[in-house]
Structure 1
Amino acid sequence: MLDTDWSDSWRGAFGIELRAEAIGLASRGWPVLPGTCPAQGQDTPWFGPVPAHENWREQLGAHPHRIAEWWTGTQYSLLVATGIVLDAVEVDATVGKRAARLLRALGHPAPIVAMPNGRWLFLTKVAERVPAELVAHDGVHLHGEDGWIPLPPTPFQHGVVHWRVKPEVWGWQLPEADAVHEVLVRALDEEPEAALVAASRTAA
């Protein structure tokens, strides 16, 4: 849990980790940007980080040296813009776990992020189209053009964003959006057991 009991040394170490992750992602061409963090002693509801700078669109593609400057001495969360290098589909944890099992059954892992608010993010290449089932579903949030998502280890008030499946598992090659979307549609519409049987047959 994040609260005011964090020691200064712990906060410093956490800031260094955020800085290192931001530099690493930027060096791979991911459009990272600094985001807001929950304030110490904040009583108002926290709905997640947003870009820290109003002109964040103009800052995309900054050199890793510039990225390092942003995260030096300032507590920022780590965001990545969507609709440029990657997109993301956000679902609840129940659907997320079901989709993750389906992806494993198919032998096609995808980078997956879990947030402390119980939501999961499935990262893909930029999508040319999105199935109507995902667009129309109330529990699905699509992150595409002109959007952003938080990446680990971004802090929330009650926890830290973390990887369920790291990009290294995919060799840093993002999966095709269509393939992940198909699995998410299955996870939304089918009972878990039936979906897993269908995925196993597809893999075979």
Structure 2
Amino acid sequence: MQWTNRQPFVRPSLLDRLDRVRLRRAALAYAEHGWAVAPGSYLTGRRFDCGRPGCPITGCHPAVDSLAESATVDPTRVAGWWRRRPHNVLLTTGDTFDVLEVPAMLGRPAVDRHAGDAGPVAVTAAGRWMFLVRPGSPLRSELDLRMDVVHHAQNSWIPAPPSRMVEGPVRWEVPPSAVDWILPDPERVQEMLAESATRAPRRPVIPRQLSSLRRAA
């Protein structure tokens, strides 16, 4: 028998092809509205594969060497990334928008009470609510003190719907189309979340998620 280093061809499943088409369509829609996108690692079993040999990262992460340099709104380049693999869709933060990532105990009441002011809101299957807001405002003190609130600004990113995490897909609670792709005032959204914090039962909070610097490509 003759040994070879060539990898065997594996025909993608129908589910993989459907995922790839759905993810590519979403990435192109974001890019069309000026939201820079980049390919993320894709789920294989319970770990994420970015296609780079020997990559030790098992969680969701960029599939490019430099997210800041690679993220784009160019439709040709975006379509090319999803030609062969069902990459997760990553949105960079800090330029077009910031993201306030909070637990469901803060996010759900804020949307329920102030749906018209919330702007686009994405939710992970693990229960993290991500509010997209205009960039540039720091966290107000009562939110900054909470270890379960993350402010994604420069040098950070989020997985956008319909990206697939281990727990399940990311989805829109308030789709961008429902608010005409208009980003809300960050101070107003923080006020809504702070109101939820004062109403929430006092309980131990989960450790702070990865910081912006650690989420950077």
Q: Same fold (TM over 0.5)?
A: yes
Give 1:37's match in structure 2, choosing from 33, 39, 42: 42
Percent of pairs with identical residues: 30
Instruction: Name 2:154's counterpart in structure 1.
Output: 145
Contact 2:31 2:75 in 1 (8 A): yes
Instruction: Name 2:143's counterpart in structure 1.
Output: 134
TM-score, structure 2 normalization: 0.78
Instruction: Name 2:168's counterpart in structure 1.
Output: 159
| Unpaired runs of at least 5, structure 2 | 1-11, 49-56, 202-217
Counterpart of 1:120, as a letter, is: W
- SS of the equivalent of 1:75 reads coil
Higher helix share: 1
- SS of the equivalent of 1:88 reads strand
Give 2:100's match in structure 1, choosing from 89, 104, 128: 89
Check if 1:63 corresponds to 2:68. Answer: no
| Unpaired runs of at least 5, structure 1 | 1-6, 193-204
Question: How far 1:78 sits from its partner (Å)?
Answer: 0.5
- Aligned partners of 1:171 and 1:37: how far apart in 2? 29
Question: How far 1:95 sits from its partner (Å)?
Answer: 1.4
Structure 1 residues 57-94: Cα deviation after superposition (integer angstroms, max 9, x where no partner): 11123411100001111121001000010111111112
Contact 2:46 2:166 in 1 (8 A): no
Q: What aligned pairs does 1:14-33 form with structure 2 within 5 A after superposition?
A: 14-33=19-38
- Aligned partners of 2:72 and 2:16: how far apart in 1? 27
Structure 1 residues 140-178: Cα deviation after superposition (integer angstroms, max 9, x where no partner): 011111100011100012310000110111111111111
Report the CA distance shift for 1:69/1:100 in structure 2 as closer, same or farther (over 3 A).
same
Give 1:115's match in structure 2, choosing from 110, 124, 128: 124
Instruction: Name 1:175's counterpart in structure 2.
Output: 184
Instruction: Name 1:199's counterpart in structure 2.
Output: none
- Aligned partners of 1:120 and 1:185: how far apart in 2? 14
Counterpart of 1:116, as a letter, is: A
Question: How far 1:110 sits from its partner (Å)?
Answer: 1.6
- Aligned partners of 1:191 and 1:69: how far apart in 2? 45
Count residues with an aligned counterpart: 182
Counterpart of 1:25, as a letter, is: Y
TM-score, structure 1 normalization: 0.83
Q: Deviation above 6 Å: which 4+ runs of structure 1?
A: none
Question: How far 1:109 sits from its partner (Å)?
Answer: 3.6
Report the CA distance shift for 1:85/1:42 in structure 2 as closer, same or farther (over 3 A).
closer
Instruction: Name 2:63's counterpart in structure 1.
Output: 52
Report the CA distance shift for 1:48/1:186 in structure 2 as closer, same or farther (over 3 A).
farther
Counterpart of 1:16, as a letter, is: V
CA RMSD of aligned residues (A): 2.0
Contact 1:109 1:169 in 2 (8 A): no
Counterpart of 1:140, as a letter, is: V
Structure 1 residues 88-122: Cα deviation after superposition (integer angstroms, max 9, x where no partner): 11111121111112213xx4242111101111111
